[in-house]
Chains A and B, each alone.
Chain A
Amino acid sequence: MSEAKSMKPLFYIILLNAVGAALISISGGSRSAEALVLTGAICVVSIICYTVVRFAGFGDPYLFLIISMLGSVGGIMQLRIRTAYGVRQLKWFLLGTACYFLAMLVFLAMRRLLPKLAPLYVGLSVALYAATLIFGRTSHGSRNWIILGGENGLSIQPSELIRIFFVLTLAAIFTSPPAKKGKKKKTDAEKAPRPRLGPNAVRLLSASAVTAVNLGFLLLQREWGIALLFFATYFFFIYVYGASRGYLLLNAAAAVGVGALGLKYMGHIQTRVEAWLDPFADASGKGYQITQSLFAIGEGGFGGRGIGEGSVYFIPEVHSDFIFSAICEEMGILGGFAIVMLYFVLTYRGLKIALACTNRFNKAVAFGLSLMLGLQSFIIIGGVTKMIPLTGITLPFISYGGSSMLTTFAAYGILQAISAIKEETTDEL
């Protein structure tokens, strides 16, 4: 590939940002300065990072490009919704980029050590859950925020960070060398006798136990969205790592059982399901969010009403969970399709990294992270379009919010690192 050709994807990012900035300036009047700074900064960061990744040989050059595109759409939409959101979103994007490369470097430096730290991941997760339960704030029915530094301090959502620990835990468990029953003694993987069923059954049960602990805490915090995400990720893990059909069915049945119990005893879940089945039964109450979201999508049609031309302020939580509805209102479902395609390509790149990876732990991490983030996009997009019941989680790189942005950047930073390692090994070969 010639150098000119390899720079071509950047052109699309610059084009999107230029058009977005122009449209916001036209429709928003006084916001042109912020729009120019924001979109300009995203363009500059994209160009620098792409060049660094590409020419420093950090592996897959497309991951950051796709993220930049999503971040650009997010920045433009946040700025369009409220100037202050856009400005803060830009700060998160820049910090997130730092997290991305930090996570990449940390993973590269510690990659021999990381597979052995499963107890640490679980410990950190439990500590974060406990902190949330003790110090947490309740927001929209979920107790999932910790505010640091008083009323106007930094609010963080620990479950966003736990997502990464969760995948690392499962990856470590499933790629752990077989341990002898009752003993903590480490054995050399190649020399150890391999009992046919023993080690894998232990792995499956440990994974199930870890997942159960996570889900328990998440349900205590009423984080049904993330709980669903964790369960789905766990389910894919046990599918790929050798669970029998019976065990898969058992897990699915358990999930359905927990869901049914939630439906019966938790008002929070009942509301969500009722609003999903018939949002117009209580369109000014329970169904308010979802009907306003559907009106936005319907009014947008295929081509959208134009950036800045929609009435997105009618949608509750439009800057966070419902940002996809705002995108559909202003860019049409064709614009929405483009966003979905970007998430799909991102998932595809991630799974491709997993497939090409020769290190078992890294492969499992790449698989888990890319699948989890793909599922997260689907769960929230499906939720706000009433395709599936709504469970509140963020749309990666687009929804407003620091915790989500930084941790998602870190997750893809890890993927970037894994793709770089793969190139190292092929170089060595």
Chain B
Amino acid sequence: MNSNKKIIASLVFMCALFFSIFIYLTYFQLFKADDLVSSNYNRRLWEKEESVLRGSILDRSGLVLAESEVGDGGQKRVYPYGSLYAHVIGYNTRSYGKTNLELSFNDYLLKTESLTEIIQYGIDMDEENGGLKRGCDLVTTIDHDLMRVAASAMNGRNGAVVAIVPSTGEVVCLYSNPSFDPNEDELVESWADLSEDESSPFLPRATKGLYAPGSTFKIAVAAAALENGLGDFSVDDEGSVKIDGRAFRNAGGSEYGEIGLREGFKYSSNVFFSQLGVELGADTLKKAAEDFMVTKKIPFDIETSSPAWSYGADMSKTELAAVGIGQGKLLTTPLNMAVVAAAVANNGIMMKPYLVQSVVSPNGVSVYDAEPEAFGRVAPAVVTDALSDYMLACVESGTGANARIRGVDVAGKTGTAQNEREGRDHAWFVGFAPKEDPQIAVAVFQEYSGSSGGAACAPIARKIMQQWLEG
């Protein structure tokens, strides 16, 4: 019967209609839902927030760096040290959302007791919390004293200070300047000014600022030379060299005569390293940068930037020479360079840096513990031993002399990176101490310093290392 055919066609149509709901909802859930539910109009977000007293954030010794207080208008997040931790902890506001640790550990900060804990300890409704359950506390690896020393040593200059325990990857200092006050009232008041400020106070320079590493990159270049049989490469340094018509000069025009890798490194000879770069070639340089993770994004407890290596497979001689001295289209973050120094200090084993040591429930039960984890070996131990020697020489009698500490062998490398602003070079110092049993690795960076790494940054690195070693 003809109508039966059309009834079947109607059934097929209904089948397609219902099936389209499946496709639509699956698409919605996979691609739309995540963005959508983070909308400020979603009252569920704040419902959860208001039902739990947000956990505190502590430094490694238990000092409170951020905590929530219950007031008349709900919870208030308090940052007792104001701008000092804005680029580590971030902020937690209704108006502007969350950043940094407040964002990445949000679930833990709002996590209440598990069922097993409730069975073990009973439900603890603390009256002073306004009857709210408490979320978990974050214990960070940060050392507040180091942060204070970093802040006073930087003395308001723009840049970053990163310090890492080489054997574990604990980040004990992560200082960025300029910064801002993350307390909500202050933030709301100054938001417009901060957004328009040309010094970009919202940029966490330590983790997301991208800069040419300058001569600090020579650590990776020297390692590549040692690994590729160019350990005895030498040049006659006359203060400058022309490669394909472009001149590469030493800082201050110094002439070092016939030098090898050790002297070239110690004096940070651009004449030596530009020619070494050409000798190593594109593939080896690129691999060295990747091995040391100078050009790789570091997976970290807060957001980091992807460094840049903007070259194709073919590089001209001048490009090779520029990369050999850490210039050119090569950009990285202070955190990346601190990790490089830490890897050399740790005999070539690069540890994954981390910022949160543990997450502890209100009953003191640990719900998350950071395990030191290695990215892998960046160079054979024999190579990193040699690099340590060179870095020691650089501080003992080379460009890094300002980092010397009485009675401690300090290893380091300075850097002075040219950038788009003429005469306003970035200044770098990376290093570690003590050389034989490294306890701390640092990277100090000053943006548009106009001074050399040895003059501007080495003294700050010295103060940080001294503070850590002497407590």
Residues of A whose CB lies within 8 Å of any CB of B are 236, 239-242, 280, 283-284, 291-292, 294-295, 297-299, 301-302, 311, 314, 328, 333, 336-337, 340-341, 343-344, 347-348, 351, 354-355, 363, 367, 371, 374-375, 378, 381-382, 385, 387
Contacts of B25 in A (CB 8 A): 297, 328, 333, 336-337, 385
Q: Is the CB of B29 within 8 A of A298?
A: yes
CB B471 to nearest CB in A, in angstroms, measures 48
Q: Is the CB of A295 within 8 A of B44?
A: yes
Q: Is the CB of B4 within 8 A of A355?
A: yes
Q: Is the CB of A297 within 8 A of B28?
A: yes
Stretch of B31-39, B105-113, B231-239 on the interface side: B31-39
Task: Tell me, in angstroms, the Cα distance from A375 to B11 when the chains sit together.
Answer: 11
Contacts of A280 in B (CB 8 A): 39, 41
Stretch of B12-20, B116-124, B174-182 on the interface side: B12-20
Q: A284-B41, A314-B47, A378-B14 are in contact. List 20 more A-B contacts (CB 8 A).
A: A240-B3, A242-B2, A280-B39, A283-B39, A295-B43, A298-B33, A311-B43, A340-B18, A340-B22, A341-B18, A348-B15, A351-B8, A351-B10, A355-B4, A355-B8, A371-B14, A374-B18, A385-B24, A385-B28, A387-B21
Task: Tell me, in angstroms, the Cα distance from A15 to B298 when the chains sit together.
Answer: 50
Task: Tell me, in angstroms, the Cα distance from A348 to B19 when the chains sit together.
Answer: 13
Would you mind naming 25 contact pairs between A and B with Cβ atoms under 8 Å apart?
A239-B10, A241-B3, A292-B43, A295-B37, A295-B39, A297-B33, A299-B42, A299-B44, A301-B33, A311-B44, A337-B22, A347-B18, A348-B11, A351-B10, A351-B11, A354-B7, A355-B4, A367-B10, A374-B18, A375-B17, A378-B21, A382-B21, A385-B21, A387-B21, A387-B24
CB B260 to nearest CB in A, in angstroms, measures 62
Contacts of B4 in A (CB 8 A): 355
> How would residues 130 to 161 of chain B score, 1 for a CB under 8 Å from any chain A CB and 0 otherwise?
00000000000000000000000000000000
Q: Is the CB of B44 within 8 A of A314?
A: yes
Q: Which residue of A lies closest to B36 (CB)?
A: A298
Q: Is the CB of B11 within 8 A of A240?
A: no
Contacts of B8 in A (CB 8 A): 351, 355
CB B30 to nearest CB in A, in angstroms, measures 9
CB B89 to nearest CB in A, in angstroms, measures 27
Task: Tell me, in angstroms, the Cα distance from A423 to B2 when the chains sit together.
Answer: 22
Q: Is the CB of B3 within 8 A of A374?
A: no
Task: Give chain B's interface secondary structure class.
Answer: helix
CB A427 to nearest CB in B, in angstroms, measures 21
Q: Which residue of B lies closest to A374 (CB)?
A: B14
Contacts of A314 in B (CB 8 A): 43-44, 47
B406 within 8 A of A: no
Q: Which residue of B lies closest to A241 (CB)?
A: B3
The 6 closest A-B pairs by CB, nearest first: A298-B33, A298-B37, A240-B6, A344-B18, A295-B42, A283-B41
B195 within 8 A of A: no
Task: Tell me, in angstroms, the Cα distance from A367 to B41 when the chains sit together.
Answer: 43
Contacts of B44 in A (CB 8 A): 295, 299, 311, 314
CB A247 to nearest CB in B, in angstroms, measures 14
Q: Is the CB of A343 within 8 A of B10?
A: no
Q: Is the CB of B21 within 8 A of A347?
A: no
B26 within 8 A of A: yes
Q: A295-B42, A344-B18, A371-B14 are in contact. Are A355 and B24 (CB under 8 A)?
A: no
The answer, among A294, A344, A354, for a CB contact under 8 Å with B36, is A294
Contacts of B42 in A (CB 8 A): 295, 299
Contacts of B39 in A (CB 8 A): 280, 283, 291, 295
CB B247 to nearest CB in A, in angstroms, measures 57
CB B105 to nearest CB in A, in angstroms, measures 20
Q: Is the CB of B21 within 8 A of A302?
A: no
Contacts of B32 in A (CB 8 A): 298
CB B7 to nearest CB in A, in angstroms, measures 6
Q: Which residue of B lies closest to A311 (CB)?
A: B44
Q: Is the CB of A344 within 8 A of B15?
A: yes
CB A86 to nearest CB in B, in angstroms, measures 23
Q: A311-B43, A374-B14 are in contact. Are A240 and B21 (CB under 8 A)?
A: no
Contacts of B2 in A (CB 8 A): 242
The answer, among A242, A295, A375, for a CB contact under 8 Å with B41, is A295
Contacts of B17 in A (CB 8 A): 374-375, 378
Contacts of B20 in A (CB 8 A): 387
Contacts of B47 in A (CB 8 A): 311, 314
Q: Which residue of B lies closest to A378 (CB)?
A: B17
The answer, among B6, B10, B36, for a CB contact under 8 Å with A295, is B36
Q: A340-B18, A344-B14 are in contact. Are A239 and B33 (CB under 8 A)?
A: no
Q: Which residue of B lies closest to A283 (CB)?
A: B41
Task: Tell me, in angstroms, the Cα distance from A297 to B2 when the chains sit together.
Answer: 42
Task: Tell me, in angstroms, the Cα distance from A16 to B458 when the chains sit together.
Answer: 70
Q: Is the CB of B18 within 8 A of A343?
A: yes
Contacts of A347 in B (CB 8 A): 11, 14, 18
Q: Is the CB of A333 within 8 A of B29?
A: yes
Q: Is the CB of B33 within 8 A of A351?
A: no
CB A152 to nearest CB in B, in angstroms, measures 32
Contacts of A337 in B (CB 8 A): 21-22, 25
